[in-house]
């Protein structure tokens, strides 16, 4: 595992800032223990310094994973956040959307969130802002990007898209199902 370069760090923080805004500082400046981001084979991990110290005892070929898998760098140099980053995003997200029980299943099947599925939404959410999608019982279901601002969402048709799905908890089950077909 190695430290991220300055360019990689800027790319990662710009992606995380889409969801966390000024709360991004809480990922690094934590009261409990210092945390860091590390890279191994284009995969980004978030871990405490104590976990990092233990992980450094293993060779590169022996270590599969350490800490929370946040996402990976694409061949184009962009970052794709994975569903495993949901606990971090849910804890510090500035903008949130709660979906009705009928919309939960639709979202968990990998579909976008429609206006009819929304129960409530953080006020003054700007367009193209990253949001965490919650159930009505405050369980984080996934995350995505808002297609319409809060004000625009009030004026659109019931079956218009409000949130573009980027990752959801059903992703794991769909991936396992695809692999088992072969």
- Give the Å distances, CA to CA, from 162 to 12, 24, 46, 72, 120: 25, 24, 30, 26, 12
Say whether 95-175 and 2-89 share the same fold: no
Residue 36: which of 8, 74, 77, 76 has the closest Cα? 8
pLDDT score of 181 more than 80: no
- 56-89 pLDDT tens trace: 888 878 888 888 999 999 999 899 999 999 999 9
Topology (CATH) of 95-175 = 2.30.130
Q: How far apart, in whole angstroms, are the C-alpha atoms of residue 24 and residue 85?
A: 13
Q: Where are the domains of the chain?
A: 2-89, 95-175
Architecture of domain 2-89: Roll (3.10)
The answer, as to whether pTM is greater than 0.85, is yes
């Amino acid at each position: 595992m190695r430290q991220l370069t300055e360019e990689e760090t800027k790319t990662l923080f710009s992606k995380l800032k889409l969801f966390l805004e000024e709360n991004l500082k809480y990922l690094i400046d934590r009261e409990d223990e210092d945390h860091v981001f590390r890279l191994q084979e284009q995969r980004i991990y978030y871990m405490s310094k104590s976990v990092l110290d233990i992980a450094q005892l293993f060779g590169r070929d022996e270590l599969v994973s350490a800490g929370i898998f946040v996402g990976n760098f694409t061949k184009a140099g962009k970052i794709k956040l994975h569903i495993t980053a949901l606990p971090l995003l849910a804890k510090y997200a500035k903008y949130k959307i709660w979906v009705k029980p009928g919309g939960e299943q639709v979202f968990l099947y990998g579909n976008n969130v429609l206006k009819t599925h929304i129960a409530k939404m953080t006020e003054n959410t700007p367009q193209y802002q990253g949001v965490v999608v919650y159930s009505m019982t405050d369980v984080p279901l996934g995350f995505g990007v808002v297609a319409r601002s809060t004000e625009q969402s009030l004026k659109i048709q019931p079956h218009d898209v409000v949130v573009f799905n980027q990752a959801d908890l059903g992703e794991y089950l769909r991936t396992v199902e695809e692999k088992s077909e072969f």
